[in-house]
Every structure is written in structure tokens, then in C-alpha cells.
Chain A
Amino acid sequence: MAEEYDLKTDELLSRKVRSKTKLGGQGTWQVEVGETGSNLTDSGEIKENSSNPVFMRKDTKTSFQWRVRNIPYPADTYKVTVEPLERSCIIRTTNKKYYKKFNVPDLDRCQLPLESSALSFSHANNTLIVCYKKPKEILALEQELMRELKKLKGTNEGDVDCKTQ
């Protein structure tokens, strides 16, 4: 697993997971958080048109957040539900244009239940934002992780100090 944090805001920018294949080889990176890039297939023979909605996860400090960009339908079109048995959330549309089933790996890893009360959504600027409030267990875990991460030295980006003569 690889994670990328913003050095200033401590926000999680991306998280990728790579697991072993059945035969022990290295699998491909699965993007959990952050930009997924284009969903081109290898051959490029069939690919999603750019007019389709794009799904990605982008967390904030207090909640897990998913964004569906490029989705123009009004707010009352959407219905977001929790399926506790399948351990997943589902976004439905009344006009049957968009449907997405996704799970919350963070909660799966900690074996925490999914609560429908924690889930909310809003729609603005062609983007549907689905929020799931982080439970206190997750918040405690992330704080602890942050303390550990603070011990690490970040790489220096941007302008390097140039010694003047």
C-alpha cells in the first residue's frame, strides 16, 4: 500500500493498493483514494466516452468522501443507500442513468459496521458528493498514524535553496 499526504494540510491525497496475484506475481495497482486516471483498456478498442460520469474518492479530515463528476441531473434524482449485509454503499438514479456500488475498505479493515445515519450527499456544479462521517475509531487510528507520519521527513519540493555567491 502506498499513500500520499499533503505536507501542509495533512490531507490524504491518494492511496493505492497492490496485492499478489494467485500465482504469486505482482498485481496491478488498485486506486483506493485519489485520481484514477483514464479508464482506457490496453488495446484502446473500447473505452468509456468522456461524457460519462467519473467516480473517485477524495477524503476530508472528518469524513470519507466520494465524488461523481460530470453528472448533470438534479439533486432529487439521486438515492444513496447503505447495504450493511454486502458491506457496500449504492448510488442510484431515478432516471436509470447512473448506478454505482462501492465499499469502504477503511471500515472493512477495522471490521466496523456501516451506518446509514453517517451517510449524506449533495449535488452542485455537475458533481455529486457523497459523504460518510468517519467513526471515532477511524479518527483515533488516523490521529495515531498522523503522529507516526510526523516523525518522517518529507521530501522537499518546489524551489531548492540556491546558494548565492
Chain B
Amino acid sequence: MATTKVPEVRDLTRLERIGAHSHIRGLGLDDALEPRQGAKVGKLTLKTTEMETIYDLGNKMIESLTKEKVQAGDVITIDKATGKICKLGRSFTRARDYDAMGAQTQFVQCPEGELQKRKEVVHTVSLHEIDVLFIDEVHMLDIECFSYLNRALETDLSPVLIMATNRGITRIRGTRYESPHGIPIDMLDRLVIIATSPYTEKETRQILKIRCEEEDVELSEEAHTVLTRIGQETSLRYAIQLITCAGLVCRRRRGTEVQVEDIKRAYSLFLDEARNTQYMMEYQDSFLFNEASHSRALKRKPFHWSWVKL
């Protein structure tokens, strides 16, 4: 039988091979007379239904085309920026090239129009992604930190800076000067200040309701009103802490819904900040190191049950 010679087909990569002469390296061959790596060049023709363009390929692009097993007749996309190749499938026009196809072979339409297309990528950018520096308790920074920040904010790559503090006019650390929020005024001048206001009764009520749902505690309407009032008169944190306690008190008496009595019990068991301060004032003589000044005396009145209108 006559044997047919099958020429070695190498598409995409055209390797230049030059005979073995003395200046091997200069000819693009290595010591084993194989083409040296890194000198690969290739050509690729991309077509749409409307046009075609020839591209020159570099080493990496040839490798990734080989890795993706891209053949003539495949529909692919190449991301120009990253060089990433994505195989979309085989063109319908090549459907009859072979009888046998892999099960996963997908046939797609040949792309239309221009070869290079701009793809709109919708990317929702959160503040976090564009680099936000959040500094909590910013009054703890000293004057040197602030002068560093002052300078850092002027650089091109400076992130959005958000600061938080709960201090009023206080001493700037590292100095003897006082300033609003303990931030030097030249720094303060570069900031926009978000105004905050205390929660209204309706908001407090809503927050407590959400918290109760989260903790699986059911409140009666009256108990909810009382707790809201406590939240407004003492602090929201304290009111939230009471939810768990009152829930436990209720469970202990085998109740299903927290009543005013349960809240009362929890309230009597645990002190809020104002009552604690008052308690301290009354009994400070009984404590060790009782030099507490009277300057921080009762800013808040303790909560009274008589205030709650039921």
C-alpha cells in the first residue's frame, strides 16, 4: 500500500527554522537546534460576517490560544486589555466539518458587524471599592497624625476619608489647644460634617420592633410603648439590652408575650447609666478612692414610671 505523507500542520505559530550553522543563537535556535522559545510569532485572522482582520500575535497569546484549543471555525472573544480568550462555541457554518462532535460542542452564530466592539460592563461601585478610609474615634489621633493626614489627602491616590467621633470641643491630643471634636480646625476645614439628630419616638419604636423580631421576643403593645419610652429617656442601647432580659423574665413565668411587668422587672434588675451615676453619687463614700468630682453630676434625670402614660 502506498503511504501518504501527511505534512505537519502548524497553524497560528510559524516557527522560523534556519539550518545549523555556526552562529546558532543568532539564528534563533538553541543548542539542540530547536527554535528558541520566546521568538515565536504568529498570525491570526479573525472574521465576522462583514469583515476580516489579520492580527500579529505574541508568545503569550499563542500559548493561550493553544491552551484553549482554539481551532479554525471557533467563535471566540479576546479581551483587548487583559488578553483573556473566551471560547463561545463553533460557528454554524462549520457544523458539517466533522461528523463526530464532542457532546459539549455548542454551535453559535458568526458575529456580525465590526470586529472590535466596545462592551458595556455594568459594575456597581461601592464606596469600599474606591478605597474608603474610615477612622473611628478620631479624637484619639494626635496632632502629628492630623498633619500626616492633611498631606496624604492632597495626593492623587488619596482615598475618601470618613471620620467618626462623639466628642464635642475637646483638647487636640499632643497639644494644649482645644478644638471641635478634637480635630485641628485646618483639618476640619477640609471636611464636610454630617449633622446627626436624636431618634424620634417613632424611629425608636421602629428600631426596637426590628430588634425584637431579631431576638424572637414578642412584646405587648403596652410593653412596646414602655420600652420605647425607656429608650428615649435613658439610651437606645439600654432599651435594646432590656429586650433579652425581659424576654427571659417572661419565659420564666411561662408567658408567651412580654408584658409591662416583665420590663419593669428587668428594669429593676439592671441599672442604666443615669441611675448608676445617681447611685454612685449617693453611695460614693462607700467606694474605694472616692474623690469623684461633682462636675459630671446628673446630666440625665433618672427614668420615672409616672412618666409613662398607659
Q: Which residues of A contact B (CB under 8 A)?
A: 22-23, 41-49, 51-52, 92-93, 96-101
In order of increasing CB-CB distance, the 10 nearest A-B pairs are A99-B50, A99-B51, A49-B54, A45-B58, A45-B61, A45-B83, A46-B61, A45-B60, A98-B51, A49-B56
Determine if A43 and B51 form an interchain contact, defined as CB atoms under 8 angstroms apart.
no
Q: Which of B58, B78, B81 contacts A44 (CB 8 A)?
A: B58
Chain B residues whose CB sits within 8 angstroms of the CB of A100 once the complex forms: 51, 114
Range of interface residues on B (Cβ < 8 Å) = 20 to 34
B123-145 at interface with A (beta carbon < 8 Å)? 125, 130
Pick from A22, A46, A98: contact of B58, CB below 8 A. A46
Q: Is the CB of A46 within 8 A of B56?
A: yes
List of A residues within 8 angstroms of B180 by Cβ: none
Interface of A is mostly: loop
Interface residue ranges, B against A (CB under 8 Å)? 43-44, 47-61, 78, 80-81, 83, 113-114, 125, 130
B57 in contact with A45 (CB, 8 Å)? yes
Sample of 20 A–B contacts (CB below 8 Å): A23-B125, A44-B58, A45-B57, A46-B56, A46-B78, A46-B80, A46-B83, A47-B55, A48-B53, A48-B54, A48-B56, A49-B43, A49-B55, A52-B53, A52-B54, A93-B51, A96-B47, A96-B52, A99-B51, A100-B51
Query: Whole-angstrom distance between the alpha carbons of A92 and B51 in the complex?
Result: 8
The answer to whether residues A101 and B49 also contact, given A45-B58, A46-B58, A46-B78 and a CB cut-off of 8 A, is no
Interface centre among A49, A93, A97 (most CB of B within 10 A): A49
- Is there contact, CB below 8 Å, between B50 and A96? yes
